[in-house]
Chains A and B, each alone.
Chain A
Amino acid sequence: MEDISGALALIGYGLAAIGPGIGIGIVAGNAVQAMARQPEAANMVRTTMFLGIAFTEALALIGFVLFFLA
């Protein structure tokens, strides 16, 4: 069997990105739904959406940092 070489940290970053990826999808999808239902609230929803995305992203960002540290 051939040797598999490369950085394990890359796989770690990939794993860390799964959860936030799904989470951001849910946040953005629901925000689009809310904006479609109530276009007059679009501005407020957009701000809140960016906040939600920013907080959800945190885990992926920690994975990104650990990728450099490992």
Chain B
Amino acid sequence: MDPLVLAIECDPAVDVICTPEYVNELFETQVVFSIGGFDVNRAMLLMLLAAFVTIGLLFFAYRRARVVPTKYGVAVEGMVGFVRDEIAIGIIGPEGIRYFPYLLSLFLFILVGNFFEITPFVNFPITSRMAIPAFLALLTWVIFIFVGFAKNGFRYFADIVWPRSVPIFLRPLVGLIEFFSTFLLRPLTLAVRLFANLVAGHVMLSLLLVSGFIFIKSVGDIGARSVIGVGWFTIGLAIFLFEVVVSILQAYIFTLLSAVYIQTSVHPEH
């Protein structure tokens, strides 16, 4: 059941604290329809929508190349140029242009997915479902390992587990730490960072806005509660603005770190 529906059905005059009957109701989204044996829920539809928005954003900006671009074209070009110059070429170097399409689609998809959190009537960031950040992080993981082996051969792996730049008696220890941090912790932290930030933001917004809404709704019953409700709602709106910054920043950081990980595979020993 949707938490918002739960909140509206809950009567604060009767129940002091409104709780769902079963805690998983907060995490399960309703099945919209099913095809064959597959259930399609709202999160999956939003994923498709995010993909179409990402494609549409670029398609309508670059459908016809203009000498003098429209305002919308300039905005998209600014974003694309930022990813190309600051992230792809700025971090990886001149050959970063090869990884630019991947980084751009990563950035735009995560950005659109994050913005679903603060879009009215959608209010659900698809990146707060672990499957999406985990899959994107695995994609980066596969790419940087593949690039590392393709560019440097077996030396890529040997340099990580037997780093020649540290004293010989420290090499096993440093090699072990490097192995874990490169092959296990990198994708884990990459995925969890995005996931945790978006879950925290979504929970905060839901709590403040929905509970503020319930409290304001109980105007006739208890006057003091509606005052508290207005206060909470105001804090909720302030956090709403904060989440705009978080959405952009997390998309940027995910793309930036993907670029850095690819860079360490392209030029090791830096």
Please report A residues at the B interface, Cβ cutoff 8 Å. 43, 47, 50-51, 54, 57-58, 61-62, 64-65
Contacts and interface: CB of A to CB of B under 8 A. Distances in A.
A61 B192 CA distance: 6
Chain B interface residue number, banded: 10 to 19
24 contacts: A43-B86, A47-B86, A47-B90, A47-B91, A47-B256, A50-B252, A50-B253, A50-B256, A51-B257, A51-B260, A54-B193, A54-B256, A54-B257, A57-B189, A57-B193, A58-B185, A61-B188, A61-B193, A61-B196, A62-B189, A62-B192, A64-B196, A65-B188, A65-B192
Interface of B: 86, 90-91, 185, 188-189, 192-193, 196, 252-253, 256-257, 260
A9 B246 CA distance: 26
Contacts of B193: 54, 57, 61
B90 A64 contact: no
Contacts, number: 33
A64 B192 contact: yes
Contacts of B253: 50, 54
A70 to B, nearest CB: 15
A53 to B, nearest CB: 8
Q: Which of A50, A51, A61 has the most CB of B within 10 A?
A: A61
A12 B189 CA distance: 18
Contacts of A62: 185, 188-189, 192
Given A51-B257, A54-B189, A61-B192, 4 more contacts: A50-B256, A54-B253, A61-B196, A62-B192
A57 to B, nearest CB: 6
A17 to B, nearest CB: 11
Contacts of B90: 47
A58 B86 contact: no
B256 A51 contact: yes
A57 B188 CA distance: 12
Nearest to A53: B253
B213 to A, nearest CB: 27
